[in-house]
Amino acid sequence: MTNEALQSLINSWNPDPITNGLEFTEEKSQFLNITVQPERLHQLMVQLKSNSETNFDYLFCLSGVDWEKEMGVVYHLESTSHRHIIVVKVKTEDRENPTFDTVSDIWPTAEFHEREVFDFFGIKFNNHPNLKRLFLTEEWDGFPLRKDYVDEINMIIK
């Protein structure tokens, strides 16, 4: 399926551009890129996996991102049966409490990816079954992959 056909199909699920909460972007990528409003994330992801024409059954990358003004998550999905790939982005301007819905109930592999994003970016995931630090200790202060993170120990050494 072409990117244009994918976009048309996804838009047909909720054709009203005001309420569908989706923005399709043409980036320097071979894959269709979608930015979704946080309140629509889980519903969109369920549809992307369960719809027989999309069947995105493989979440192969989930990454946290600090865009300076916004915090977000980028998901790379593939359909192993249809052989198409899509990129889904979700963002929030709430840097103090960035929170999105988990997709670990849709793709179980997301459980560890979301823990890593929580650990390094401080992004929380609603309804995650075990959201806690994965690599850093519980006593660690801050989130080291945020652009505004200050590493106190390295500051002292310098």
pLDDT tens, position by position, 47-100:
999 999 999 999 999 999 999 999 999 999 999 999 999 999 999 999 999 999
Mean pLDDT, all residues of the chain: 93
Comparing 22-26, 72-76, 126-130, the range with the smallest average pLDDT is: 22-26
pLDDT at 72: 98
Q: What is the pTM of this model?
A: 0.92
- The share of the chain scoring above pLDDT 90, in percent, equals 84
What domains appear along the chain, each with residue ranges and CATH number? 3-157 (3.30.460.80)
- d(C-alpha 110, C-alpha 82), whole Å: 21
Closest CA to 123 of 86, 92, 84: 92
